[in-house]
Amino acid sequence: MKIRTRFAPSPTGMMHVGNLRSAIFEYLVAKKSDGDFILRIEDTDQERKVEGAVELIYETLEKCGIIINEGPNQGGNFGPYVQSERLELYQKYAHQLVEEGKAYFCFCTEEELNIQRQEAELRKEAFLYDGRCSHLTKDEIKEKINNNIPYVIRQKMPKEGISKYDDLVYGEISIENRFLEDQILLKSDKYPTYNFANVIDDHLMEITHVVRGNEYLSSTPKYNLLYSAFGWPKPEYIHLPMVVDENGKKLSKRHGASSFADLINQGYIPSAVVNYLALLGFSPETNEEIFDLEHLIKIFNPKRINKAPAVYDVKKLQWINSHYIKKMEFNDYVSLTKPFLEEAYDLKDKNEEWILELLKIYQNHISHGKEIVEVTRLFFNNDFELDEEKEAILKEETTDIVLKTFKEEISSISDWTIENISIALNNTKEKTGVKGKLLFMPIRIKVSYQMHGPELPNTIWLLGKETVLSRLSK
RNA sequence: GGCCCGUUGGUGAAGUGGCUUAACACACAUGCCUUUCACGCAUGCAUUCACGGGUUCGAAUCCCGUACGGGUCACCA
C-alpha cells in the first residue's frame, strides 16, 4: 500500500516554524517510501480564518522545496481538500453514527455546561459531561428539534476498559476509557469539530500515517474510538516531540523569529531553515548536520525521532545558516545581502565596485543577511565608544609611533589599492620594528573601532584614504 | 487536580544491557596557519548519564519510587 501523509494546517495567518517542522516530517515520512504528500486546509473555525493565509502556506512550502502531490490547488482523487467544502460529508457521517446508536443529539447549552464545569472545579474534580442527553426519548428529541433548539452531536464513549495504541515514536500509550468524555462531533453551527473532521478526512483521503505534534498523544485514543465506531482501519501514528524555547516552554508566537516569514525577512535561507528544522527531534545515523531535502529523504528514518522536547536554538540555526551563506555563489550572496545594505544606509555616492567588495569581505562572517547591517556600521558611522580593552591597547607605548608612521605611509599613497595599503603596513613594520598584534591592533581599532573583522588592508581600502587619515588623527 | 510524556556536559544531542575510560555539533580555552582577529586545521573541556532503591556477573540503557519540567483535560485547531 502506498504511504500517504498529510499536512493539515488551519489558515490562521502565519506559518509558525513548529508547523513547518511538522510539514517537513510529514513530507519525509511520505517521500522516504515514495509515497504521497497531501495538503488539506482545516478551516472549520470560522472566527480564526485569515484572508491570504492559504497563499502563504503555498508560498512557504514552495520556498522550502516541498512538493505537494494533492491539495486545493493541484487537485487529486480525494477532493475537495478544504474542509469548509466538505461539510455535507461530516453531516452524513455524524448522522450515520446517531442512527447506529453510537452517537446522540445533545441540547445542553454552553451556559449549562459552564455551570457544571465550575461546580466540578469547586469539588476539585475533573469535569466530564455526564451524558444526560443520551437518555432523551425519541419524542423528546423530535420535539426539541421541531422547536429549533440548537444541538450538537456527541459520540458515546465506553465507560470502562482501556484504550491503547502503538505510537512509532513513543511506543505503547494507554489510557482508561473512564477519563474520556462523550466527545462532540458536530458543533451547533453544523460545523464539525477538529477531531471529527480530521478522522473523517484522514480516512476518506486514505492517509496511512498520521504525523503530528505530541500534544495529541493523549487524545489519540479518542480518534481511535471514532475509527472503531465506523469500523475503519486505524492509521499509524508518529507523534513528534514538542518544540520548546530556551526556557523549556512550548514555542509561542511571541517568541522572536518564530515564523518562517520573519526568518526569511531577516535574511535566512529557506534550505538552511529546512535543514535546521529537520534536526529538531531527529538526528541522522551519521554525524552529518548539513543536508538538503533530497539527501534528508535518503537518511531520514522515523525510528530515529526522539521523545524529549527539542529546543529551538537560534544560535544553532545561525551556525547552519552561516554555513549556507559561505557556500553560496557570490551573485546569490549579493542578492541576499545587498537589499539590507540599501535599506539601512545611503549608498548613492558609492560605486558598484565598492559595494561588492564590501559585501565580499563579509561573506565568511555573517550568519544571516540582515547581519550585514551591523557588521558594516563602521563604514557609515563615526560615533563609536571604545571599551576598556581597546583603550588599553591604545595606551601601549608603541602605539603612538605605529600610528604616526602608518599615517605618513598612508598619506604618501597616490594609487589607492589594496596592494599598496599592504605595502604601507609592511613599511610601518619595517620602520618601527613593531610587529604582530601590537602593530595591527592599534591601527585596526583606530580605523574600525573594532578588534575583530575581515582583512585589514581590504577594510582600509573600503574606508577610503580620507576617512582613514581622519580617524587616525582623532 | 486527574491523565499522558519527558529528564545525558555551559548548550543542542548520539547512545535502547557488555564494543562507552559516554559519539558528534555549537559555545569556550589553547596551539598551528595567516604580518592581528576571523576563516581553516589540531588539541582540551561529563570519572558520569535528575535523585533514591531494585533486577543482573554487568545498567545511561530494564523495573519501582521521589523530584523537577512539559503537554492535555473546549461547541480551538
The pLDDT assigned to A31 comes to 93
**Which residues share a beta bridge with A211?**
A238
| d(C-alpha A442, C-alpha A385), whole Å | 15
Residues whose CB is less than 8 angstroms from the CB of residue A349 and which lie 6 or more positions away in sequence, other chains included? none
What's the pTM?
A: 0.90
Nucleotide nearest to A312 (CA to C1'): B12
Within 279-318 of chain A, which residues have Cβ less than 7 Å from strand B? 279, 281-283, 285, 287, 289, 303-304, 306-311, 313, 315-316
The pLDDT assigned to A80 comes to 93
One-letter amino acid for residue A245 of the chain: D
Asked whether the bond before A80 is cis by omega within 30 degrees of 0, the reply is yes
CA angle centred on A157, ends A155 and A160, rounded to 5°: 175
Q: Is the dihedral of CA A444, A448, A452, A455 positive or negative?
A: negative
User: Does the residue A296 lie in any domain?
Assistant: no
| d(C-alpha A60, C-alpha A268), whole Å | 13
The pLDDT assigned to A345 comes to 87
Nucleotide nearest to A424 (CA to C1'): B35
A138 is catalytic: no
Task: Confirm if A259 and A122 have CB atoms less than 8 A apart.
Answer: no
The pLDDT assigned to A229 comes to 93
3-state helix vs strand vs coil in chain A, percent to 5:
50, 10, 40
Domain count, chain A: 2
Distances (CA, A) of A374 to A52, A128, A378: 33, 56, 8
Domain stops at, among A240, A267, A301: A240
| d(C-alpha A103, C-alpha A95), whole Å | 8
Task: Count H helices and E strands in chain A, helices first.
Answer: 20, 11
Distance A361 CA to B38 C1' (A): 11
| d(C-alpha A443, C-alpha A421), whole Å | 12
Each residue's pLDDT, cut to its tens digit, for chain A (474 residues) gives 899 999 999 887 788 888 899 999 999 999 999 999 999 999 887 667 778 888 999 999 999 999 999 999 988 899 799 999 999 999 999 999 999 999 999 998 888 888 888 887 777 777 888 888 888 888 898 988 898 889 999 999 988 888 888 888 888 888 888 888 899 999 998 899 999 999 999 999 999 999 998 889 888 999 999 999 999 999 999 999 988 877 777 776 555 557 888 889 889 999 999 999 998 888 888 777 888 888 889 888 888 888 888 888 888 888 888 888 888 888 899 999 999 989 988 888 888 888 888 888 888 888 888 888 888 888 887 767 666 667 777 777 777 888 888 888 888 878 888 888 888 888 888 777 777 777 788 888 888 887 777 888 888 888 888 888 888 877
Domain stops at, among A240, A266, A288: A240
User: Does the residue A285 lie in any domain?
Assistant: no
Distance A261 CA to B49 C1' (A): 39
CA-closest candidate to residue A446, choices A409, A397, A412, A395? A395
Within 122-141 of chain A, which residues have Cβ less than 7 Å from strand B? 124, 126-129
Nucleotide nearest to A303 (CA to C1'): B16
Distance A308 CA to B70 C1' (A): 10
| A345 contact to strand B (CB, 7 A limit) | no
| d(C-alpha A373, C-alpha A260), whole Å | 21
Q: What is the CATH number of the domain that holds A215?
A: 3.40.50.620
User: Does the residue A266 lie in any domain?
Assistant: no
Domain stops at, among A193, A212, A240: A240
Please give the residue range of the domain that contains residue A123. 86-240
The 10s digit of each residue's pLDDT in A17-27 is 888 999 999 99
User: Does the residue A139 lie in any domain?
Assistant: yes
Within 37-56 of chain A, which residues have Cβ less than 7 Å from strand B? 42, 44-45, 48
| A219 contact to strand B (CB, 7 A limit) | yes
Residues whose CB is less than 8 angstroms from the CB of residue A142 and which lie 6 or more positions away in sequence, other chains included? none
Residue with cell 515514536: A169
Q: What is the CATH number of the domain that holds A440?
A: 1.10.10.350
* Residue A137 DSSP SS3: coil
Q: Is the dihedral of CA A432, A434, A438, A444 positive or negative?
A: positive
Nucleotide nearest to A247 (CA to C1'): B69
**Of A92, A164, A253, A326, which is the active-site residue?**
A253
User: Does the residue A122 lie in any domain?
Assistant: yes
User: Does the residue A154 lie in any domain?
Assistant: yes
The pLDDT assigned to A193 comes to 92
User: Does the residue A202 lie in any domain?
Assistant: yes
Distance A309 CA to B21 C1' (A): 30
User: Does the residue A98 lie in any domain?
Assistant: yes
Distance A224 CA to B53 C1' (A): 38
Distance A239 CA to B56 C1' (A): 33
**Strand B nucleotides, any atom under 7 Å to a protein CB:** 1-8, 11-16, 23-27, 35-39, 69-77
* Residue A101 DSSP SS3: coil
| A362 contact to strand B (CB, 7 A limit) | no
The pLDDT assigned to A153 comes to 94
| d(C-alpha A145, C-alpha A150), whole Å | 8
Task: Confirm if A333 and A356 have CB atoms less than 8 A apart.
Answer: no
The pLDDT assigned to A346 comes to 87
**Which residues share a beta bridge with A271?**
none
| d(C-alpha A423, C-alpha A414), whole Å | 13
The pLDDT assigned to A409 comes to 84
| d(C-alpha A169, C-alpha A165), whole Å | 12
Within 398-457 of chain A, which residues have Cβ less than 7 Å from strand B? 422, 425-426, 429, 435-437, 439-441, 444, 451-456
